[in-house]
Amino acid sequence: MRLVALNETAFRVGLSRGQAPAEARAIYPMLEVVEEDPGADARLLAEIADWTDRYTPLVALDGVDGLMLDITGCAHLFGGEEAMLADIVDRLQRQGIAARGAVADTPGAASAVARYGNGAVVSSGGHAAWLAKLPMLALRIPAETVAMLERVGLKRIGQIADAPRAPLAARFGAGLIERLDQALGRAEEAISPRRPMPELMAERRFAEPLSLAQDIAATVISLAGSLAERFEERGVGGRQFELALFRVDGAVARTTIGTGRPLTTPKLIGELFAEKIELLGDELDAGFGFEMVRLSVLAVDDINPAQIDLAGESDGDADLARLIDRIGVRLGLGRVANLAPRDSHLPERSAAFVPTANGSAALAWPAPLDDEPLDRPLRLFARPEPVETIAEIPEGPPLRFRWRRALYEVTRAEGPERIGDEWWHEDGLTRDYYRVEDRAGHRFWLYREGLYGRETAAPRWFLHGLFA
């Protein structure tokens, strides 16, 4: 057992990381030792990462105790890099979290300066000078490599920054060169943000935090309005939107909606979010209020000019599209579907539900039979229900059957219609379907599964559908 983390007081009385608790207690008897909880630590880091989302949407985890933020282009919103860094560290401090940060041109340099250089804002291009003074460990290479370098007297990054690369790679591995190049900016390093980068984004901060649903709804409409121009420029509309609400105490509430067709009209976007917020109800806790609201467009689709109508729509088609979007928000877009025919002789595969949002090609259904009796049921069970049936062996029609504990006497049976399994199933069982009617007029679609003798010794019977 070793100590992995200490608070300020512990540092001041002379304790250090890596000490055994017994030793530490000998130095300071009143020491309080708590067992490490990596899960809780990870959750806390994730929460802090969520909180930093208000600075930039590109946030990645850096190890178990750090975060990497890509602030390219956002620093001016916070008064410059120095002010922004100070703001972040200061706010974290106020929440009881000691933090150290650095700003640099590359993720490698930023990480190195933050962890081993006491944190600073490195001016553009000045990272090489900074890195030169830092120990090898700051390059994010494994401890063994560091040990190997130390053995030959290489202790500072500056010593290898301009050394011949081939011998270094041969002796210490290609990984060392990669990390060196990344830190110095000779090679690209992209961070993998926790959240997808939105296509478009608009946000607003409030001096007076919001907590009323209608205020949030109004803000959404306003933010969507500010995106209208960018939609038009690109000729697209949004298919997936995310609303992020940042609470004053640091928590972030997020909710997404999807639409059936690309949307640009602020009023409609606002309406869908209002619906969603109402649905969330108590789950959406404003706490002391939201100080920032961000609307992100996560997915877009091309839009043709005829669809754009900022004045509001009133014809039936638009009304229907709107209804489908609202049902999608409330029940889930996958639950609104069209029926589509499929090319398969297996009944359960011959028709499918295709989510309306996916769009549908108009395909032809089999034509209605003219003056012949119907041979397909109106309702089909997704899983055919087993029925106990009495029928003549080997291939007689059902005479009596029991379905869900009720007995049915068959008065008329039509069939068999033989439907084999798909040819690629070698051991597939053939089905003989019968349309049966009982005394009262209940009409069912039953099938015998497996040809007696040829495919199976004990064919089973199933009820697959209900006729009108």
Partner 1 sequence: MDQARIITLRREIAAIEGRPAGFSEGSDFFVPASSRDPLADAERGKKAIGPRVMPGAEQNGERGKHLPLGIPDLDRRLGGGLPLAALHEIRAGETRESGALAGFAAALAARLAQLQSKPILWVEEEMALTEAGHPFGVGLAQFGLDPARLIVVRARRPEDALWTLEEGLRCSGLAAVLAVIRSSPRALDLTTSRRLALRSAKHGVMGLLLRQAGAAESGAATTRWRVSPRPAAVMDGFSDGVGRPAWRAELEKNRLGPVGVFDLEWDHARIQFGPSATADPVARPAVPFDRPDRAAGEGQGLALRKAG
Question: Footprint of partner 1 on residues 404-433 (CB under 8 A)?
Answer: 406, 409-420, 433
The Cα–Cα gap between 38 and 33 comes to 15
Cβ 353 to partner 1 shortest distance, Å:
6
Q: Does 389 bind partner 1 (CB under 8 A)?
A: no
Please identify, among the stretches 39-47, 215-223, 281-289, 321-329, the one whose residues bind partner 1 according to the rule CB under 8 A. 321-329
The smaller minimum CB distance to partner 1, of residues 219 and 430, is found at 430
Q: Does 239 bind partner 1 (CB under 8 A)?
A: no
Q: Does 382 bind partner 1 (CB under 8 A)?
A: yes
**Near partner 1 by CB under 8 A: residue from 20, 33, 147, 339:** 339
The Cα–Cα gap between 161 and 164 comes to 9
The Cα–Cα gap between 155 and 135 comes to 6
The smaller minimum CB distance to partner 1, of residues 172 and 444, is found at 444
The smaller minimum CB distance to partner 1, of residues 130 and 444, is found at 444
Q: Could you give the string, one character per residue 140-179, with x where binding to partner 1 holds by CB under 8 A and - elsewhere?
A: ----------------------------------------
Two structure tokens written together for 94: 């106020």
Q: Tell me the chain's radius of gyration from C-alpha atoms.
A: 34
Two structure tokens written together for 467: 């006729």
The Cα–Cα gap between 85 and 100 comes to 9
Q: Does 353 bind partner 1 (CB under 8 A)?
A: yes
Q: Does 397 bind partner 1 (CB under 8 A)?
A: yes
**Closest C-alpha to 53, from 239, 240, 247:** 247
Q: Interior CA angle at 236 toward 297 and 69, to 5°?
A: 30
Q: Does 380 bind partner 1 (CB under 8 A)?
A: yes
Q: Does 34 bind partner 1 (CB under 8 A)?
A: no
The residue count for binding partner 1 (CB under 8 A) is 82
Q: Does 101 bind partner 1 (CB under 8 A)?
A: no
The smaller minimum CB distance to partner 1, of residues 78 and 381, is found at 381
Q: How many CA atoms lie within 13 A of 81 on its CB side?
A: 17
Q: Does 57 bind partner 1 (CB under 8 A)?
A: no
* Cβ pair 204, 222 in contact under 8 A: yes
The smaller minimum CB distance to partner 1, of residues 70 and 414, is found at 414
Q: Does 452 bind partner 1 (CB under 8 A)?
A: no
DSSP 186: S
Of all helices (H) and strands (E), which one includes residue 321? helix 316-331
Q: Does 205 bind partner 1 (CB under 8 A)?
A: no
The Cα–Cα gap between 141 and 180 comes to 9
Q: Could you give the string, one character per residue 261-300, with x where binding to partner 1 holds by CB under 8 A and - elsewhere?
A: ----------------------------------------
Q: Does 319 bind partner 1 (CB under 8 A)?
A: yes
Q: Does 309 bind partner 1 (CB under 8 A)?
A: no
The smaller minimum CB distance to partner 1, of residues 27 and 352, is found at 352
The Cα–Cα gap between 177 and 273 comes to 49
Cβ 316 to partner 1 shortest distance, Å:
4
Q: Does 43 bind partner 1 (CB under 8 A)?
A: no
The Cα–Cα gap between 336 and 260 comes to 10
* Cβ pair 303, 236 in contact under 8 A: yes
283: CB partners within 8 A, 6+ apart: none
Q: Does 317 bind partner 1 (CB under 8 A)?
A: yes
Say how many residues make up the chain: 468
**Amino acid code (one letter) for 167:** P
